[in-house]
Amino acid sequence: MAAIANPIVNSYKRLKPGYEAPTNVAWSTNNRSTLIRVPASRGNGTRIEYRSPDPTANPYLLFALMLRAGLDGINNRIMPPEPLLGKVQLSDTCESHGLQTERYPRDLREALEEMANDGLIMETIGEHVFDRYMFFKRQEWDEYAESVHEWEIRRYLNRF
């Protein structure tokens, strides 16, 4: 779902350790650095926050996937892992805090690799949309990866 929620190469620049942006797949009731946050119980008013999407995401695809993933979890009685308790700041070194979490994709290429292996996404958005999305997003990543950026020029031109 990361490739739909964060569909451009710049989407991943804000998803880095040390900020309140999610970098690991975890959930909590009080930690804003988790991917999923379920604020304190409010009875029928309790909500779930999916914290990674960026404004460039297609809301129709994203809402369809979130709904389908939720229904799949309910239908298959998939139990979520234990919540992350406390105010631990998630980072790439979660293991140092004794946390066992899966790392959120660090860039669009990695997110597309994950998406390619997720049959639920193809079932939800349909094979044609899935194939076209993958084609254009892989093309976008390849163009980005093959471009020389201003940062690289500033960083390396005078050093080597």
For residue 40, the domain's CATH number is 3.30.590.10
Host H or E run for residue 36: strand 36-37
Q: What is the DSSP letter of 27?
A: E
Range of the domain at 45: 2-156
Least Cα distance to 107 among 23, 18, 20, 19 occurs for: 23
Least Cα distance to 65 among 142, 7, 135, 137 occurs for: 7
Instruction: Give the number of domains in the chain.
Output: 1
Q: What is the DSSP letter of 55?
A: T
Could you read off the pLDDT of 71-128 as tens digits, one per residue? 999 999 999 888 887 655 555 445 545 556 788 999 999 999 999 999 999 999 999 9
Looking at the chain, the whole-number percentage of residues with pLDDT higher than 90 is: 61
List residues bridging with 28 in a β-sheet. 37
User: Which pTM does this prediction carry?
Assistant: 0.84
Q: Is the pLDDT of residue 156 over 80?
A: yes
